[in-house]
Structure formats: C-alpha cells, structure tokens
Structure 1
Amino acid sequence: MPGRWLTYCLAALAVLAVADAPPAAARPQHIVSINLCADQLLMRLADPDQIASLSYFSRDASMSNLAEEASAFPRNRGLAEEVMRYKPDMVFAGRYTKRMTVDLLKRIGVDVVELDVPRSIPDVEAQIRRVGEALGQEARAEAMVREMEARLATEDVSASKRPSAIVYEPNGYTVGAGSIINVLISLAGLENLAAEKGLESYSRLPLEKLVALSPDVLVVGDYRDAPAVANEILHHPVLSRMPRPMEIVSVPQRLWMCGGPDIFKAVEVLRQAADKARARQ
C-alpha cells in the first residue's frame, strides 16, 4: 500500500512538473525556496518576479535578516505537493534539510539547487556565485562578492593581544574549528578556545570545562532568554561567579546563521566585546 501511494504521488507531481515548463536556456521565473539561507540570497540576487515562494521561516525576524522584505512573497512549509503548486522551474534547498521533499522533487525531474553549510569566507563567496549563476544573475552575485572582499580587506586580523572567547549555546554546545563562526571570531580579534583545545565544529562542552577555561569573552545567542529547558544552562549561577571577570556578549543568531554580507555585522558585535575585554587586561 505505501508503495502504491508513493507511485501515485510521484505520478501526480510529475504531471505538475511538466506543465508550463520554461525553455531550458531561460532564466528561471518560478523559483521556490525551502531553505532559510537560500531565501536571503534569493531576495538579494533575484528579480522579485523570479521568486514564487520562500520558506516558512523567511518572515521570522529572529532568524532572517530580511524578514520584512520576505512579507512580499508567499511562504511554504517545504512539502513536495505544496512546492509543486507553484510550478517551479527551480527549487533551492539546504544540504541537510527536507530530505524527503528534495528526493521526491529530484525523482520527478525538478531542478533542485542544494546549498551546503559554508565553513570559510571562500565557501561563502563560492556559494553566492553559484546561486547567482543558477539565477542568471551573475553580475549581482559578483558585486556582492566584491563588496564582501572590500569589507574583508578592512578587517584587522593582526591583533597581537587577542582576548580568549568561547561560544556557548543551549544544551552546552560550543563551536570549534572548521566553522564559519570560528572564522568570524578570529576576524574580530578574538582567540577561540574551543578551536585551540581541538574541538571541531559543533561539540559539547561541559559547564565544568567552561569554568576551567575561564574565557575573557563568553558568546551567547539571542535565544538565551527564550523559555526552553535547553537554555537553562545559559543561566547557571556559576556563569556570574567565574574565576575572573568575563565579558558576556549576545550575537543574534540571524547574523551568522547563513553565509552572506550580514556576517560582518556579527564581527562588529564581537569586536566590541573584544575591545572591552582587552581594556580589562
């Protein structure tokens, strides 16, 4: 029975996919995004009339830097049948999200562009160029990359006196080497203790270990005050009684959740914390 249902769904979706399909060489005109990071690149690079729908979280101001702009576009929840109602000629998705939807769309021949998680500035720039090429908006993508490169050239990464820092997230997770966040911490003139201790990307860091490391700067997200059990560790009394003074800074998750020009706003927030910590030394 499940097999028959899947066959029926694929057949129905295939009919929708074939209908009104544009010429292969044409710039895509019915683009659907089911990924928050893709949403923001599309709104910056595509013509508005190229966008048919954005992801459900595109209007969430706590997660998207373009929440207000996203209100101009219909939203979707990433279901294959919902996506196909827009008769897309291209769908943008994340590498690790909505796998069932992505697999179904690929099986019926929909052009799906999957975005990976960038781990470096070159990764971010490559992703911007890739999206621009897919949209037929190469010039806009190149202009965005050039703007980022110009901004990067103004960053002073040679600070000889780098305060130490640790990112601490709900459930006691930290961010180490091999992540874009680690790169941004370095650009801000801070030394990521998690990376120095050999931790990779997202790793657990027990509270006792955090206390022992006693960083100059503790970086938390703006979800710190959200009512959730996972956030309770961020309010542990020990964080206010560390062995030595510690600067606590909140970086809105929307600033470094996705690769794009907004990551430099996160660097600015971190640099201010680095300056305060440096003044204490």
Structure 2
Amino acid sequence: MNIRYPAVAGRFYTHSPAQLQAQLDGWLNATDHDNESTANNTVEPSTIRALIVPHAGYMFSGQTAAKAYRQLLPLANKIKRIILIGPSHRYYFRGCALPPADVFATPLGNVTLSTQTIATLSELEDVELSEQAHALEHSLEVQLPFIQTIFNNFSLLPILTSNVSPAVLAKLIDSLWRSDDTLLIISSDLSHFHPYSQAQRIDRQTCQLIEQFEPSITPEQACGSTGINTLLLLAKRRGYQLKRVELINSGDTAGDKEKVVGYVSYLITDT
C-alpha cells in the first residue's frame, strides 16, 4: 500500500491522536449560538454542496474551519466522495497534481483515496501524478482530521493546483461534482502579512467578489484563488447560493496585528 504520511502533524496541529480528537470534538460539537454570525448563517445540511475553509495552523484558523465543518455532521453517512482542492505552496508545475497514493495518513488513521478516479484523471493533459508535490503540502492535510471526524464511509480525491486556469479545473471536476453524495472542499487562506486594519479591508473586498460570484480572485487576495474561482464558476452556472460563516485574521486569534493572515469560511448550497 502506498501511504502519504502526515507532514505537518506536530506543527499545524497536534500529533497526539487523543488530543487532536478531543480538540476537534470540542469545536465540532459546539452549539451554533456560541457565535452570532454562525447562528445567522445556519443552513439546511442536506443542501450543502461545498465549503471554503482556511488551512493555517489550528491555533490560528481551526475554529473558523470548524464552524463550517460542524454543519456537515448530519451528512456523516450521506457523503461518499469528497473532492478536496488546495494550492501547492512548495512546488510550481503546470496544471494539477494528484498523488500516486492509496491512502493519506493522519494521527487519526488512514483516509482512502479515489484511486480509480485518480488513475483516470492522470491520463488528461492538465493533470500529473506527483508524490513530490503532495509529500510536504499542508493545504490539504490540515483538512483531513476534520473530514475523518465527520464522515463515516467515503473516498477522497485530493487535487493540488499550480499553473492552471479556473476554467480548466472547472471542466476537470464538473462531472465529478454532480451527485448529492459528493462534497467539494476548497482550502484557502486570504491575504498574507498586511497590518491588521489593511488586511481587514483587503479581505472584505475579496469576500465581496466571492459573494458576487466574481471569479477574479488573485493569489494576492487568496492563496487558494484557483480553487475559489473554480467553485465560483461552477456555483454561478448551477444557481447555487453562498453563505459566509466567519471572517477573521490571525490578529484575532493567536498572532500579532503587525503582519496577519486572513481566514474565511463559507457554505455553498444548492438552494
């Protein structure tokens, strides 16, 4: 069995299975009225088709991600396939990179990959198999413990993006993201390393574009801009709705306010 082992356990999140599970359980089982914005954006779980969630260390952005993920708990047995898209931070390549692995491992166990779909997609022009691209990448890995905790029986299609257009990526996943038992997760942070008030302005402007389904987000506005723009293209085409759960930055959590990173979570629904 080809296993992609965790690269950022112990840095972005705890490597202790017991501590990690306890942290996730606490976040995911918190009541929505603990946060006014979350309560105001509660949706019918059966309508949720996609998420946008951040991918920083859990001390910085974990609760922002959890406030979106917790609304998926009623779908634990419904979702059978998850398409997870995030940016490659370490390697530049043309197109998209899929892993030549059977499972992704975390401290909570193994996540089964959609190996047949990976094999099929790897034959396409804009897709490559790359163990190197996935080996140290955190943008997908930090989502896995959330996914493992919520869902019971699913397979994962993990896609890293580099030099690829949203139109190409949209064409790649359009037919895969059709059935009600398939969930799309876009992993992205927002602006990086601006002073607190400047970052707030930039991130609010980015969210306005997202909420207008305007697929023109730049990498300076969101490191996972390709995935976000791809989602916006498909969601607008399908008439989906989008609800912001929470918008903060690292100055609101565990960082200083001199150079902050922005975090947002969204729910995308089909009604």
Q: Which TM-score band applies after superposition, normalised by the shorter structure?
A: under 0.3
| TM-score normalized with structure 1 length | 0.22
Q: Which has more strand, going by share of residues? A: 2
| TM-score normalized with structure 2 length | 0.23
Greater Rg, structure 1 or structure 2?
A: 1
Q: Which has the higher contact order (CA 8 A, sep 6+)?
A: 2
Q: Which has more helix, going by share of residues? A: 1
